[in-house]
Amino acid sequence: MTKAKKTKPHTPQMPARRVGRLDTLGGIVTELGRVYRDCRNGRTSSGDGAKLAYMLGTLRATIETADLEGRLAALEAELHEGKSNAD
């Protein structure tokens, strides 16, 4: 007896929509709003919307972490510079 291959059901693809820049918090917030509106208006399933929102949240966290890393490096440089001048 052979097993039948499982195939994914065909899901129609939505036409690609231009996404704004996702390298700033403002761009991510804008896109998150679009995802929300698309879900509310039935253009995107709630499952797909949740996945997109999760990815956008990950991008947001990455940008925030990179920003904090830069700020910390600047503060550490100032602290190190202050100690050098005190000697």
* 35 touches 53 (CB < 8 A): yes
User: Which run of H or of E encompasses 42?
Assistant: none
Structural domain boundaries, residue 55: 25-86
3-56 pLDDT, tens digit each = 666 666 655 566 677 788 999 999 999 999 999 999 999 999 999 999 999 999
Residue 78 resides in a domain:
yes
Residue 18 resides in a domain:
no
Q: How many domains does the chain have?
A: 1
Query: Measuring CA to CA, which residue among 67, 34, 60 is closest to residue 48?
Result: 34
Query: Does the pTM of the predicted model rise above 0.75?
Result: no
